[in-house]
Structure 1
Amino acid sequence: MNMTRSADIAVIGAGIVGLACALELAQAGTSVAVVAPRTGDHAGQASRAAGAMLTVFSEVEAAHPQQRVEVEVAERVAARAGYDAWLEQVADLAGRPAPALTPGVWVTASVPADRGELAAIAAAAANAGLAGQLHSPGDVPGLHSKSVFEALWLPGEAGVDAGELVAAAAAAAMAHPRIAWFDADASRITDNGTDLRIEVTDGEPVTAEHLVLAAGVQTSAIVRRSPGLALDLPPVLAGRGVSMMLQAVPERVESPIRTPNRGFACGAHLVARSDGRTYLGATNRLSTRPEPGRRASVDEIATLLHDGVHELNAGLRDAQVTDVRVGYRPYTVDHLPLVGRTANHKVLVATATYRCGILLAPRVATLIRSELEHPGTLDDHSYSPRRAMPVPDLAQLVHGRGDALAELLCQPGGHLPGGAVDQLGSVLCAALVHQHADPAVRRLTRSAPVEEVLPLLLDVAGRSTR
């Protein structure tokens, strides 16, 4: 590993996307400086709190516009196609085995609305030539839930031990002769005209001709601390997720098992880890002020356990909790990543992969390399940070989300009288639109105009009536 404090390219961030970019660029023959903590607990980092699943299709929702589905699935299919070869490259560079992929993912249906979700997922897989198959719950190893009535097998997806993967990628970066890793946070970036200067929290600045900003939810904070750097980036939002590691699970899962997305969050899921433990994930709530060191709340843990026990495996009650993790997933208003050149031609961005960072990392890295080698390649790409990004208003955000709001209050499996879900959903939607007169609601909606803001708005509405 080279330790010169200047390089052709600097990469800020050492999550899986940043590490993949560093390795891709170093393999292309350029010198790379990674600026990010190498040691410590990496509090709040999404990569190290992930399961993970290579969710090519199972992140699709029935409510997603077809154009969004086509764009997202096409990129995920491309990422999955090259994933095995990328793992082999990481293992070769690290001089140690990379984690093996566990073929396939199961998606379960527990409530009537899940039929539509599984149908949307199955359609996306079939359109990509990787059709799934419907099975009875008894066919799913490790699934023990009375509420599940159907399961979709997706052979085009896979599971991977995210912790082992990040460790292998970090080892590969440490071993690479063209990568220097500076174990510190980036505090500010300045452009002196000829190169970029990255000031760090501990040590002398690092300089580079180009910069890849792969700092996840810290991206916006770094930009704010660099007032002279005009990047014209859209805001990067933060989805706070809580997960836990379990041991002594009564029956170990083989391939990952998950529910569809619901309640403005990712589905509950179980993923086997290489050390014999089982990963249970994950909650997802918009966080307007990410706090990397903030521990999981009782409510977050209770929600996670409720979903895991009732929808995936009742035997989890007897498992032992060995670790609880918190990670902040970066995403944008239109839920597509930010990959490409910013308004400053020396600075590229690679972030906002939301819940698909583990899957998309090598794909994002190849896109960044293409843009550096052939400027303008990504100008018209769907991930371009310069793309138009329409901002929905509150009425648009709540449209068609009444059932999801009602389910959020009842939790999956909660029972209401016939027709009450529609009625409750309509009342909740109308109440939220009415609450737009509240300055707190307007500020929150302006800062995060995404559907994930709706649970927070319910909290605001509840407090205002007390």
Structure 2
Amino acid sequence: MASASPPADALVIGGGAIGLAIAWRGAARGLAVTVVDPAPGRGASHAAAGMLTPVSELQYGEEALLRLNMDSADRYPAFAADLEAASGLPSGYRACGTLAVALDADDRAVLKELHAFQGRLGLASTWLTSRECRRLEPMLSPAVSGGLHVEGDHQIDNRRLVAALLAACERAGVVIVRRAVAELLASGGRATGVRLDDGTELGAGHVVLAAGCGSARLPGLPPGVIPAIRPVKGEILRLRVPEAYAPFLSRNVRAVVKGGSMYLVPRADGELVVGATEYEMDDTVVTAGGVYELLRDARELVPGISELPLIETYAGLRPGSPDNAPVIGATELPGLIAATGHYRHGILLTPVTADAVAGLLADETVPDVVRPWGPSRFGASGTRPSREVSYA
């Protein structure tokens, strides 16, 4: 079937936070951009909690990824301000800080090790006693045995973010096609566009693959061009804080509870997000066990949570690459750019990913901080890094 419209400069497959942000930033550079997604903003971006916590979420072995996470977190204040001006909508960005706490002696030891690790990397965090933790957050259980205060780790309301990005895209002239992509099209050894599920063909100078867990399963994609992106299921809860209980929590609260991690994210509008389970599964069914585990651990941490109305249970799929790090950059198929595999950090990495990919579309140089995360690091097999990722 013939193309339904003149070819765009760029066609973005995937309308989550990252895909929409790429489109918006690309349009700001004067490019004609099309986004294809049957339900923009309803994937992993809708299920997220919106924590911008590169320091308090740091895990061993992620030293290389830390630089990218910190760079994107630093971009957020300007990114959010630009987005609000472009969309006329709030982004939900809050500079609130994060408190990470432990309940028993074993959990406290884990958190103490994390604090030492952060210190070795030159990261700013402050160890607090139990009393100091409860002074910051009076609703915490008396059983809290200590914690880390990270003043520079903040949050954004992921759903407000996506709504603002969608509005900014529409204002900037981005074409939003609410259809599913049936096939990637290529000609002469180059990606040239897509075929939609209704048979319509859309052409483009560049195609950006930002389809989350579906990125590597796209029909027409040559083998090995995109590494295997696996789904990692996460269940999440949303509760409402009545005015009589406000303020319930004033900052993000992360916790180690009996060896497992969890978080509570209070929104400015009175919503409280609790999450998240993590399973190597490819379904979005919310289970009774998952809800029970989250509420059980949240109640141990903040006993008063039992009195709050439960307003939503939801499950989404995080896109995990073979090394659990993002895949950002030009692929071995000319004309095809990857922006996927962000795993737990999709919302956090939205600004740096959008700026880098929009820059690529406009023939700009890839920032040094993004360069190590290109798809070429996996080699031809697309299953594991072909070399050690450099922090430099």
Q: TM > 0.5 between the two?
A: yes
Counterpart of 1:46 in structure 2: which amino acid? Answer: A
Residue 50 of structure 2 corresponds to which residue in structure 1?
52
- 1:253/1:377 Cα in 2 relative to 1: closer, same or farther (>3 Å)? closer
Q: Shift of residue 72 of structure 1?
A: 1.5
Q: Per-residue displacement from partner, 1:88-132 (whole Å, max 9, x unpaired)?
A: 111111122322313201101123343344345434554665511
- 1:87/1:127 Cα in 2 relative to 1: closer, same or farther (>3 Å)? farther
Residue 295 of structure 1 corresponds to which residue in structure 2?
285
Residue 115 of structure 2 corresponds to which residue in structure 1?
122
Q: Does 1:344 align with 2:333?
A: yes
Alignment partners' CA distance in 2, 1:339 and 1:261:
34
Alignment partners' CA distance in 1, 2:258 and 2:9:
44
Q: Does 1:168 align with 2:157?
A: no
Alignment partners' CA distance in 1, 2:315 and 2:81:
29
Q: Per-residue displacement from partner, 1:214-234 (whole Å, max 9, x unpaired)?
A: 111111221xx225x355221
Residue 147 of structure 2 corresponds to which residue in structure 1?
151
Residue 387 of structure 2 corresponds to which residue in structure 1?
none
- 1:232/1:261 Cα in 2 relative to 1: closer, same or farther (>3 Å)? farther
Alignment partners' CA distance in 1, 2:81 and 2:97:
19
Instruction: Work out whether residues 8 and 203 of structure 2, in 8 Å CA contact, stay in contact via their aligned partners in 1.
Output: yes
Q: Does 1:314 align with 2:303?
A: yes
Q: Per-residue displacement from partner, 1:287-335 (whole Å, max 9, x unpaired)?
A: 1xx23xx43011111111112112x211111211111111111112211
Q: Does 1:200 align with 2:200?
A: no
Superposed counterparts of 1:23-102, under 5 Å: 23-38=24-39, 42=42, 45-61=43-59, 64-65=60-61, 68-69=62-63, 71-102=64-95
Residue 216 of structure 1 corresponds to which residue in structure 2?
212
- 1:127/1:371 Cα in 2 relative to 1: closer, same or farther (>3 Å)? farther
- 1:104/1:140 Cα in 2 relative to 1: closer, same or farther (>3 Å)? same
Aligned equivalent of 1:105, options 98, 111, 128 = 98
Residue ranges of structure 1 left out of the alignment (5+ in a row): 392-446, 449-466
TM-score, normalising length: structure 2: 0.86
Q: Shift of residue 197 of structure 1?
A: 2.4
- 1:181/1:380 Cα in 2 relative to 1: closer, same or farther (>3 Å)? closer
Q: Shift of residue 145 of structure 1?
A: 2.2
Greater strand proportion: 2
Counterpart of 2:172 in structure 1: which amino acid? Answer: H
Residue 251 of structure 2 corresponds to which residue in structure 1?
255
Alignment partners' CA distance in 2, 1:91 and 1:203:
36
Alignment partners' CA distance in 2, 1:376 and 1:161:
28
Counterpart of 1:297 in structure 2: which amino acid? Answer: T
Aligned equivalent of 1:305, options 291, 295, 303 = 295
| Aligned-partner SS, 2:347 | helix
| Aligned-partner SS, 2:165 | helix
Alignment partners' CA distance in 2, 1:380 and 1:273:
30
Q: Shift of residue 374 of structure 1?
A: 4.1
TM-score, normalising length: structure 1: 0.73
Alignment partners' CA distance in 1, 2:351 and 2:342:
12
Residue ranges of structure 2 left out of the alignment (5+ in a row): 385-392
Q: Does 1:235 align with 2:228?
A: yes
- 1:308/1:208 Cα in 2 relative to 1: closer, same or farther (>3 Å)? same
- 1:376/1:260 Cα in 2 relative to 1: closer, same or farther (>3 Å)? same
Instruction: Work out whether residues 102 and 257 of structure 2, in 8 Å CA contact, stay in contact via their aligned partners in 1.
Output: no
Counterpart of 1:33 in structure 2: which amino acid? Answer: T
Residue 390 of structure 2 corresponds to which residue in structure 1?
none
Alignment partners' CA distance in 2, 1:353 and 1:261:
25
* Matched residues, number: 373
Counterpart of 2:12 in structure 1: which amino acid? Answer: V
Give RMSD over aligned pairs: 2.9
- 1:4/1:84 Cα in 2 relative to 1: closer, same or farther (>3 Å)? farther
Q: Shift of residue 370 of structure 1?
A: 3.6
Instruction: Work out whether residues 319 and 342 of structure 2, in 8 Å CA contact, stay in contact via their aligned partners in 1.
Output: yes
- 1:5/1:142 Cα in 2 relative to 1: closer, same or farther (>3 Å)? farther
Residue 139 of structure 1 corresponds to which residue in structure 2?
135
Aligned equivalent of 1:276, options 262, 270, 275 = 270
Q: Does 1:187 align with 2:182?
A: yes
Q: Does 1:384 align with 2:374?
A: yes
- 1:337/1:262 Cα in 2 relative to 1: closer, same or farther (>3 Å)? farther
- 1:388/1:260 Cα in 2 relative to 1: closer, same or farther (>3 Å)? farther
- 1:261/1:201 Cα in 2 relative to 1: closer, same or farther (>3 Å)? farther
Q: Per-residue displacement from partner, 1:20-56 (whole Å, max 9, x unpaired)?
A: 11111111111111011246x82xx211111121011
Instruction: Work out whether residues 9 and 206 of structure 2, in 8 Å CA contact, stay in contact via their aligned partners in 1.
Output: yes
Counterpart of 1:31 in structure 2: which amino acid? Answer: A
Q: Shift of residue 380 of structure 1?
A: 8.7
Counterpart of 2:194 in structure 1: which amino acid? Answer: I
- 1:284/1:278 Cα in 2 relative to 1: closer, same or farther (>3 Å)? same
| Aligned-partner SS, 2:68 | helix
Structure 1 stretches of at least 4 aligned residues deviating more than 6 Å after TM superposition: 375-380
Instruction: Work out whether residues 12 and 33 of structure 2, in 8 Å CA contact, stay in contact via their aligned partners in 1.
Output: yes
Of structures 1 and 2, the one with the larger relative CO (CA 8 A, separation 6+) is 2
